[in-house]
Amino acid sequence: MRRRGACARRLRYVTNRSPGSCLIVTVQEPEEDFNAPREECGVFGVWAPGEDVAKLTYYGLYALQHRGQEAAGIAVADGSQVLVFKDLGLVSQVFDEQTLGAMPGHVAIGHCRYSTTGDTTWENAQPVFRNTAAGTGVALGHNGNLVNTAELAARARDEGLIAKRAPAPATTDSDILGALLAHGAADATLEQSALDLLPTVRGAFCLTFMDENTLYAARDPHGVRPLSLGRLDRGWVVASETAALDIVGASFVRDIEPGELLAIDADGVRSTRFANPTPKGCVFEYVYLARPDSTIAGRSVHATRVEIGRRLARERPVEADLVIGVPESGTPAAVGYAQESGILYGQGLMKNAYVGRTFIQPSQTIRQLGIRLKLNPLREVIRGKRLIVVDDSIVRGNTQRALLRMLREAGAVEVHVRIASPPVKWPCFYGIDFPSPAELIANAVEDKKEMLEAVRHAIGADSLGYISLRGLVAASEQPASRLCTACFDGQYPIELPEETALGKNVIEHMLANAARGAGLDELAPDEVPVVH
């Protein structure tokens, strides 16, 4: 197997600026075996003449690493060309000083990926890049998941954007967006192309994109995923979370509004509404996804988690000797539970900081192994104790089942599980990786009491209690009308298409069907149809 970094590949994207001119996009070959942990995506963008924008973006992505651990990439521009560097792996694995030093410019975007649409391949890493007919370059990064990907892909096909191309095709909704955005810029500015395209896009999306001079950011009309604007001394920053603004020394200005497009260049910051806002922020960001040191819609994530724990103690009390949290996202709720209940809080689990989250790892075998690698009980703390174990959520039940077995082996007398979110019973189509109802342990039984008993038995707990949806919403201090709670109550704020038009591999299926229908079965791997 070729070692990472042993060979770099340079892709030439020919433009129409002048005969023979081109943009050079340098990338590394992907690793053949890739078992990195997976989360959401994180996006970052900076416009700052005179600053080292590549390094600022690197630090911003570092702060957002928890949102995507499959791949990372940075695009920069200096007014004349767009350069993109991306690869599979963590931010620290993809970039080094030499790479960052070869990426000068005044505008940059960055992306760390977890896959919601498309497989884990180098081609699907972001930012995606496209040339316009006018000879300019467009790079784009996307956090979220679209629900009309099949419709947009068909539009790209009908507009002649399907072609034979090497390398192997990208198969993401982000790639479709990049293709349509660049195509629309042939007869208009990139800004106008975005204003034409975005109203036709349905789903959850936070976008950062750029050309040679301008940084753009856009958020879907429901604002499902967070996106913030920050100020540098000599520029501007946009990021998925406010913690990334803190890391690069940017002051928080405001959240980018649902249905808003920002353009940032030498003329300043321009804001345009492309749709009327109907906010439906993901409540699971407060529970698990976001960093505790981030702020969403004016509410501290850490403070929300502590308050969830307090309310959980009032709603689901139990006698015990010690409250412990499952690091990291379960810890603040455990602190709140201990404060409200008066039961001693203790650190009963040690976390290996170098092992990623087990919530969304690539396979069941890796998940189960990852739990043992990730957490280890402190035997002297928990031996002989009746424990209350506070965790952020139960999705598949794998983590809790293995964890409770470890705690009992370490000497716990009783283990009572308290969960800082309601039962996850419905799949998410807006950017979280539990799309299959069959994977949701709470979805196996219809009756609520029977479901609680079934889950309790499955994970091996002495008792089990979830916070109510009302309690969770109250802890967030957001109006219920402004939150997406679909994974808990099945109320989807964005209309979903037929089930056949959904799913992680919708574009792979479309391309395979197109190849068969067009008699292209004999195409070589590098000739498979692809949006470009």
Which positions make up the binding site? Answer: 282, 329, 391-392, 428, 484, 487
**Whole-number Cα distances in Å, 490 to 5, 349, 423, 424, 493:** 45, 34, 11, 10, 9
Secondary structure (3-state) at 261: strand
- Give the residue among 184, 186, 210 at the shortest CA–CA distance from 264: 210
Residues labelled as active-site residues? 41
Counting runs of H as helices and runs of E as strands, what totals does the chain give?
17, 27
Residue numbers belonging to the annotated binding site for [4Fe-4S] cluster: 282, 428, 484, 487
- The whole-angstrom separation of Cα 215 and Cα 77 is 10
User: Could you identify the residue written with the tokens 């350069």?
Assistant: 83
Q: What is the DSSP letter of 532?
A: -
Contact 222, 280 (CB under 8 A): yes
Contact residues for 500 (Cβ-Cβ < 8 A; gap 6+)? none
Residue numbers belonging to the annotated binding site for Mg(2+): 329, 391-392
Q: What is the DSSP letter of 470?
A: H
For the record, the structure tokens of 29 come out as 């070959």
Question: Helix 301-315 crosses helix 469-476 at what angle (to 10 degrees)?
Answer: 150
**Whole-number Cα distances in Å, 345 to 385, 498, 528:** 12, 48, 57
Q: Is 162 exposed, middle or buried (0-12, 13-18, 19+ CB in 10 A)?
A: buried
DSSP states of 126-185 as a string?
SSEEEE-TTS-EEEEEEEEEES-HHHHHHHHHHTT-EEE-SSPPP-SHHHHHHHHHHHHT
Q: How many CB atoms lie within 10 A of CB 11?
A: 14
Amino acid at 365: T
**Whole-number Cα distances in Å, 319 to 323, 339, 387, 389, 459:** 10, 14, 9, 12, 20
DSSP states of 40-93 as a string?
--EEEEEE-TTS-HHHHHHHHHHHTGGG--SEEEEEEE-SS-EEEEEEES-HHH
Bridge partners (DSSP) listed for residue 231: 236, 251
